[in-house]
Structures are given as C-alpha cells and as structure tokens.
Structure 1
C-alpha cells in the first residue's frame, strides 16, 4: 500500500478495530498508510482542515465533542491517533523526540494538505510546537491546551505540575492508568464508563509500551530543551493561543502569565486564555468552551 492510499471504515469483511472503537456521533474512521506506520484517522465535517493532536495517555476520542463543534462551524476535523496511542499501528516500537512530528508531516502529505489549523492538548502540544517551529508554513494558526509556550521561563512554582510523571516513567506493564483521571486533573468529574473508553487501547502491546517510553524519549528531552532556553532563542511565527484552566494546579493565571513573559521577544503573536471550572483534561471538562475559543482564534487569525 502506498503512502497516499487509505482504508475505509472497517466492515465485517475487513480487519476489525481491536479493541472496538468508542462511539462518537458524526465521526468516521480510516487508516492512512505511510512507511512503517498505519495511522488511525478519525474525521468529522467538511471545510478548512483543523488537525487535532490528543494528549497522553489519551487518543482521538478526547476530541469527540470539540470535533463535532468544529464541524458544525464549517471546519473539517482531522484527529489522528499519534504513534504509540489509540489504534495506530507501527512496525517498530522505537520512538525518539521527533517521531510523532515526522508521522504528522507524513499524514499531511498523504492527505494532500499544504497547511492546517492546529489544536492540541497535553503531550500532543509538544508535537504541535515542533510542527509550528520547524514547519511554520504548514500551520495557519494554533491553539494549545494545558501546556505553556515552548519559550516559557522556568519557575520553581511549576514543579508540582509534573507530579504525574513518575508513574509514567516507572510504569509497569499491566498497571492501571485509572488514577490519572482523578479529581486532581478533572474538575467536573468523569464517569467510570468514560474512563474506560479513554483507557481502552491500553491493552494493545505497543500502547502499553509507549506509556513508559514516551516520557523518557519525548517529554524529558523536550522539557530539557525548554528549560535550557532553546526555544527562547528562536522565534515563533505561528499565531498561537495558549489555554489553561483555573483548577489545574499549579498552573494558575499569575504563574502562567509570569512564565510566559518573554512572549513579545520570542513570538510574533501569542495570547493567553483561561477557562473557569476546568482542570487539566479540558476537553472533557469544558468542550464547549474549548471549541468557542478555537473558533474565535481561527477567525481572528485569517
């Protein structure tokens, strides 16, 4: 199969999605083939494309409500499962700092898209930032959730914001990730059914392996680059909105504004926004607010 070929939604005659995909109204699914990778792509709507990059340890389903909101406003939501997550399949479990960036570029090429709007959350924002800095011609504008801009200035006050990392760095096969969806990260509560749908692909071997691999191979290397000021020595050309939530401690508004103070020197256009009554998992806590902020930003950055 060539890089430009794709498989339609699985039917009884085709290899089924395993485990079964969570339900999501209005969203279709297919596989996009590239060398060594078969990306699961969820899609919704018609119009200008928006690429949505999920967080960790989530997958495409986190965007279910945001995607339908974008589609209703006339956009085409493209939601890939990134390497090591969801229903995407890789020939090799090997990962490095820019594996997912290369995968995203291959996906855009396979879809024939020169540029997209970009919406990302959590670890997906790391790949989104790599795309914005390394290939600004491919990104018209961007919204990133729950992650500070890459040029942020380190402060000891943000250290508690990484309290979840040890459980990933020291993850043992078969260990449940249920506690990551605790009230510390979800302000409006999450049912057991929703937690199970977020965790469904973890039974896949490559997803299970990535829970420990990705923090070592992507999160820590990028965190070190940011802390060393690598991105403060570059300029962000892509108009970017950075969205945080008032209940995601320690990322309070004063702290986020303080660590983002270099924006005028490091970026052409960056704005901060804050969502009430939401915590880290913004797309579950406040999908309508996320959708509204993204639509407003996309409209203002034409």
Structure 2
C-alpha cells in the first residue's frame, strides 16, 4: 500500500524543513549550530540513515543537514533530473537555500558518488568531502568492468535497467529492500533488524519513490552508451583540490573493499582513508560510533 510522504518526518532532536532549491522542493532534517555539514544518503534509504552522526556532530559544534535526495522521502519526485550533474546542483542549491555559502559534503553509497563529484562540478560550495561505502566514480567503473567479483556485486544495477520490474517489487512488499540490506551488510553484524527493514521498505513505498530511486541508476546505465556518459567520465578525472576522506567497511557486499582501491590517485593533496573492520555497506548504522568518531576527528582537522 502507498505510504504518506510525511512518514519521513520522524521525531527527534532535529528540525524538519522543506526548502526550495534548483526548481524543486527538498526535505531536510537539520540540527546544531556551526560550520555546515551536508549529508547525502544512499539507496535504498533516506535521510534517517544519518541520525546517529547528526546528534554526534551537532554535539561537537557542527550544523548538520541531512537531505532526502531528489526522488526520495519527502523531497519532490519530478519525472526528470536524475543524472549526477543534477544531483550535484541539487546539493549545491540546498546548501545555499540553507543560508550558507559552502559546506562539507558527506555521502554514503549513492550519496558518496555525488560527494566525489561535488569538488569537480560544484567546487564553489564544497569545502571538503567524505565518501562512505563508495569509491571514486572512475575507480568504480573500472572495477565493475574488470573485476568479476565486483561486476557480480554490481549486478543489481543491471537489473534496475529493466522497466518497472524493480518498482513493482519494491511496491509489492519489503522483500526487495530486505534483500539489499541483508546482502550488502556484514554477515557478522545484527543489521538489518526487522525495524530497519520496515522503515526502509516503507520509504520505498512512498508514491513514485521506487521509480525515482531507480532512475538515478538508470542514468548510469543509459549514459554509458550515449555521449553524456563518456563526457562525465572525462570530466570527473580532474584532480580534486579539497580534502577528501574515504571510509570503507571491510565486509561491504556492494562496493568490495579489495576490488575498489585507488581513489587517492584523484586527490593530489589531502586524502585520507579509513577502514571499518567487520562493517558492511551501511556504515552509518552498522558501526555508528566508529563512523562518528572518524568523521569528527577528520572534521576537526580541517
């Protein structure tokens, strides 16, 4: 059954806001005062995946803003605009709509892909980036093409290219989302719990979310055989001139740690890498305290 978009307005110490940016309306949860830290979630989740880090960073003097990406949660779900260029523009526009001229961008999964691209496409608003559970886009592409294990782990993206199949599965039950949460998390963790499955399964049942979420990845598939895909890969190879932190779970079942090395080659200056032992793809929830500590130590050093 369809779920009301207001479902994402989960109570807590944060404030829920709806901001107009880049021709759309975005749901953003904000907390704290200080330098802005913008948080971008991954698939198949929404802003709530950052809840532990929100409270931890806010208590250390940062203003945190966790947004629902275009097409997810309480944000608008227009029929178009799911390419990475638009995602970076959305993020930059939300930063400005919050009254800030720049911020540090943190991303997990899909949000990590966008975070890697921010210093190249929106350098004017990007002070630094941290990518969780996502290698540099060119590293990811190379690994998917050349490493059989990573190609198999990325097979779900190919499955998403089939019209309506994934949408129907996500709208029918929680089984599709449960499968992703289980396969990508560490086999040694207690994640996902039944509550996790219900929360993110329901979030995918918000009208149009399943389709919009798939469209982000369909652009990756379609653009590979069009001029915009190779052009994107050429542009993204530019050296990143802001500090970068990459955090990777050793048991990630989606982005394999040993198959996706080498992202530091695109960061000639301040690049740091942190491995979280015994954690999978959903670092913010599988290892919340360790991840919060890594992020705070890095942010304090900027």
Q: TM class by shorter-chain length?
A: 0.7 to 0.9
Greater per-residue helix proportion: 2
In 1, distance between residues paired with 2:190 and 2:151? Answer: 24
In 2, distance between residues paired with 1:100 and 1:228? Answer: 13
In 2, distance between residues paired with 1:219 and 1:239? Answer: 29
Q: 1:212 aligns with which of 190, 211, 214?
A: 214
Compared with structure 1, are the counterparts of its residues 24 and 62 closer, same or farther at alpha carbon in structure 2 (3 Å cutoff)? Answer: farther
1:34-74 alpha-carbon deviations (Å, 9 max, x no partner): 36411111011111110000101211110011111111111
1:6-47 alpha-carbon deviations (Å, 9 max, x no partner): xxxxxxxxxxx7342363531110111236411111011111
Compared with structure 1, are the counterparts of its residues 232 and 40 closer, same or farther at alpha carbon in structure 2 (3 Å cutoff)? Answer: closer
Matched, 1:156 2:125: no
Q: Which residue of structure 2 aligns with residue 172 of structure 1?
A: 167
In 2, distance between residues paired with 1:80 and 1:165? Answer: 23
Secondary structure in 2 matching 1:182:
helix
Secondary structure in 1 matching 2:295:
helix
Compared with structure 1, are the counterparts of its residues 238 and 150 closer, same or farther at alpha carbon in structure 2 (3 Å cutoff)? Answer: farther
Compared with structure 1, are the counterparts of its residues 66 and 221 closer, same or farther at alpha carbon in structure 2 (3 Å cutoff)? Answer: farther
Structure 1 window deviating more from structure 2 (222-231 vs 124-133): it is 222-231
| Contact 1:151-1:266 within 8 A present in 2 as well | no
Q: Which residue of structure 1 aligns with residue 286 of structure 2?
A: 285
Matches within 5 A, 1:256-271: 256-257=260-261, 259-260=262-263, 263-264=264-265, 266-271=267-272
| Contact 2:22-2:89 within 8 A present in 1 as well | no
Structure 1 window deviating more from structure 2 (188-197 vs 288-297): it is 188-197
Q: Which residue of structure 1 aligns with residue 197 of structure 2?
A: 195
| Contact 1:22-1:197 within 8 A present in 2 as well | no
Tell me the number of residue pairs that the alignment of Structure 1 and Structure 2 aligns. 281
Secondary structure in 1 matching 2:81:
coil
| Contact 1:84-1:206 within 8 A present in 2 as well | yes
In 2, distance between residues paired with 1:277 and 1:194? Answer: 19
In 1, distance between residues paired with 2:60 and 2:257? Answer: 29
TM-score, normalised to structure 2, is 0.82
Compared with structure 1, are the counterparts of its residues 265 and 93 closer, same or farther at alpha carbon in structure 2 (3 Å cutoff)? Answer: closer
Compared with structure 1, are the counterparts of its residues 37 and 231 closer, same or farther at alpha carbon in structure 2 (3 Å cutoff)? Answer: closer
Compared with structure 1, are the counterparts of its residues 240 and 33 closer, same or farther at alpha carbon in structure 2 (3 Å cutoff)? Answer: same
| Contact 1:150-1:231 within 8 A present in 2 as well | no
Matched, 1:118 2:122: no
In 2, distance between residues paired with 1:265 and 1:190? Answer: 33
1:99-138 alpha-carbon deviations (Å, 9 max, x no partner): 2222222212212211111111000122222212122231
In 1, distance between residues paired with 2:99 and 2:127? Answer: 16
Q: 2:248 aligns with which of 230, 244, 247?
A: 244
Q: 1:89 aligns with which of 41, 55, 76?
A: 76
Compared with structure 1, are the counterparts of its residues 93 and 147 closer, same or farther at alpha carbon in structure 2 (3 Å cutoff)? Answer: same
Secondary structure in 2 matching 1:238:
coil
Compared with structure 1, are the counterparts of its residues 46 and 203 closer, same or farther at alpha carbon in structure 2 (3 Å cutoff)? Answer: same
Matches within 5 A, 1:52-71: 52-71=39-58
| Contact 1:164-1:180 within 8 A present in 2 as well | no
Secondary structure in 2 matching 1:105:
helix
In 2, distance between residues paired with 1:33 and 1:299? Answer: 30
Matched, 1:140 2:144: no
Unaligned runs of 5+ in 2: none
In 1, distance between residues paired with 2:235 and 2:274? Answer: 21
